[in-house]
Structure 1
Amino acid sequence: MSQTLATEFARADAQAVQTTLRRLAPKWTTAFVHTIAKYGPELRVRDFGQYFPTLSQTYTSKRLTTMSTAGLVTRDAQFDRTAPYRLTDRARTLGPVYRALAQWSSDHLDHTPQGRSGRIEDALHRLQLVDTTEVVRLLSARSSMRVSHLAEQVGDYEQLIATRLNRMQADGLVTRTGHRHGDPYTLTDAGRALGPVFTAVQQWENRHSSAPKVQVPTATSALGAPVTGANAARTAAALRRSAVPSTLFSHSPLPQPRVPAAVTAGSIPARSR
């Protein structure tokens, strides 16, 4: 991760990225997304058996339910308990995230030969643990830090951070600057190269969590030319004062009944001095 990204990558961003990574990390999630995308667009639970013969239908159903809760798959099961699953818009746009993870894994991790889905899930398994993203952010910004300082910045017990660092060291993300017990930790080449991965995850999450902006049309004159300046202000005010057209409602307003003249005359109070 570059120094610039580490500076701009706030703690709230790190927490959001961590949450997203944990949502994508459960085993078989990546493989199921790829399978539906390749052989779908819809697959029933029993259909997964021909692609994953070692998985039971019960386990497959549980995994798909978890993916549904994570917003990655959906189905119309109100009237059909065996309705097929299909990818959501969120899942169909995972390409940049998966490409960044696969590239990072291929370039920096020493692993046994495995398919693309396996490399992605292995990378997610290394990155999804609690506080991992925040530790990477802190070490990227400060080069090296001791366990006590990291615990203070993360806001967790020193023993828990030490355990997390041991796991991150085993996963190839951090290393000690010396051989003594209290020596500071620093990022490895793999840890420093996580910038594109975190950026891809953040952009994907922002794409689906940010509220869309409403485009306000420009006021136009009767001839279709844009209205500008003082005319625009007067036009906008006129639009606000104008009545709502009847076509905006599902039914046209009913005509008012005609009142006989005698009834109308009788309803007018008599004038008195």
Structure 2
Amino acid sequence: MPTPVQSSAASIGSVDARRVEDALSLIAPKWTSWAAQTLAQQGHPMRVREVAARLPFIGEQLVGKRLAQMQADGLVVRTGSRFGAPYQLSEFGESLPPVHRALSDWSQSTLSLGKVAGAERVEDAVRRLGRRHTTSVIQVLDTGPTRFVDLAEEAGLDTNATWYRLHQLQRDGLVARAGSRHGAPYTLTDAGRALGPVYAAVSYWSNPAVAGRDSSAPVPVAAAARSHASVPLGSDGGRTAAALRRSAAAPSDLFSHAPQPQPRVPAAVTAQSAPGRRR
């Protein structure tokens, strides 16, 4: 059975774009990666207030909403039916680390974000990759420089959708023009061409039959309807900007189930934000 690493060479063109986007939509909501990695680090069921205590820069109410959405998406389960029952990662959620690692490694090697925590790198990467039709456009450009009209036709998009997606991908540093003249084709940047391992990991994670999980628990279809669009910063822009700044003080490594002690948000950050657990 091929692993994501073994299959990464041809992964950009061979993955199911819709499946990849559905899978990315599950981890796209802000703070999902932080919550998942906190549960993974602790390795035991946690109540909302306990997760919030580990993430002092997020309000407890928002942590509760995020965990409830993660439960609906199959990433976490509750360990009881009573009100306030603790959460823990589901089998599906426990299989996330290779995806987080691939996203973080890609960000670390191709993007200039400075000193940023691993979880924030994951969320920034998903914001760039999780928009609708992004995977299809990248797959077309992975075959070589492509003119606008041909790209739209091969990706199955109308003119407006193609312009909008290309504009976003250029802003995100994944696509560039192969020349300055009018009609010059579009091409992938180094960051875009380096996405093979990321797509391989996401595709592997999203396919329970391949990943060896219970095939009765596939990627929830509802996720596609929820976020098959851009994942904008919107009204959460201030929080996101603050996270990027303050996460420099947080550990840069991803949380995991490794037996050695894992890094935590520094005590200085906790003390600074503890009373209201808000930024």
1:74-223 → structure 2 map (5 Å cutoff):
74-78=77-81, 80-141=82-143, 143-206=144-207, 207=211, 208=213, 210=215
What whole-Å deviation, never above 9, does each CA across 1:201-222 have from its counterpart, x for those lacking one?
Answer: 111112247469xxxxxxxxxx
Task: Report the Cα distance in structure 1 between the residues aligned to 2:134 and 2:44, rounded to whole angstroms.
Answer: 35
Q: Which amino acid aligns with 1:161?
A: T
Using the size of structure 2 for normalisation, the TM-score is 0.69
Do 1:2 and 1:140's aligned partners in 2 also have CA atoms closer than 8 Å?
A: no
Do 2:79 and 2:88's aligned partners in 1 also have CA atoms closer than 8 Å?
A: no
Q: Which residue of 2 is the match for residue 39 of structure 1?
A: 42
What whole-Å deviation, never above 9, does each CA across 1:108-156 have from its counterpart, x for those lacking one?
Answer: 1111211111111111111101111111111112x01122222222222
Do 1:177 and 1:183's aligned partners in 2 also have CA atoms closer than 8 Å?
A: yes
Do 2:137 and 2:155's aligned partners in 1 also have CA atoms closer than 8 Å?
A: yes
Task: Report the Cα distance in structure 1 between the residues aligned to 2:19 and 2:26, rounded to whole angstroms.
Answer: 11
SS at match of 2:88: strand
* Change in 2 beyond 3 A, CA 1:106/1:139: same
* Change in 2 beyond 3 A, CA 1:56/1:211: closer
Please list every run of 5 or more consecutive structure 2 residues that lacks an aligned counterpart in the other structure.
Answer: 1-6, 218-279
What whole-Å deviation, never above 9, does each CA across 1:182-211 have from its counterpart, x for those lacking one?
Answer: 321100111111111111111111224746
Q: Which amino acid aligns with 1:204?
A: W
Matched, 1:58 2:77: no
Task: Report the Cα distance in structure 2 between the residues aligned to 1:51 and 1:100, rounded to whole angstroms.
Answer: 24
Do 2:19 and 2:203's aligned partners in 1 also have CA atoms closer than 8 Å?
A: yes
Matched, 1:16 2:19: yes
Task: Report the Cα distance in structure 2 between the residues aligned to 1:204 and 1:168, rounded to whole angstroms.
Answer: 24
* Change in 2 beyond 3 A, CA 1:209/1:157: farther
Please list every run of 5 or more consecutive structure 1 residues that lacks an aligned counterpart in the other structure.
Answer: 213-273
SS at match of 2:187: strand
Do 2:12 and 2:200's aligned partners in 1 also have CA atoms closer than 8 Å?
A: no
Q: Which amino acid aligns with 2:126?
A: L
What displacement does 1:172 show?
Answer: 1.0
SS at match of 1:148: helix
Instruction: Point out which structure has higher relative CO (alpha carbons under 8 A, 6+ apart).
Output: 2
* Change in 2 beyond 3 A, CA 1:210/1:180: farther
Q: Which amino acid aligns with 2:32?
A: T
SS at match of 1:186: strand
Stretches of 4+ aligned residues off by more than 6 angstroms: none
Task: Report the Cα distance in structure 1 between the residues aligned to 2:38 and 2:17, rounded to whole angstroms.
Answer: 30
Using the size of structure 1 for normalisation, the TM-score is 0.70
What displacement does 1:4 show?
Answer: 4.1
Identity over aligned residues, as a percent?
41
Do 1:3 and 1:140's aligned partners in 2 also have CA atoms closer than 8 Å?
A: no
Task: Report the Cα distance in structure 2 between the residues aligned to 1:184 and 1:38, rounded to whole angstroms.
Answer: 45
Q: Which amino acid aligns with 2:59?
A: S
Q: Which residue of 1 is the match for residue 4 of structure 2?
A: none
| Structure having the higher Rg | 1
* Change in 2 beyond 3 A, CA 1:135/1:33: same
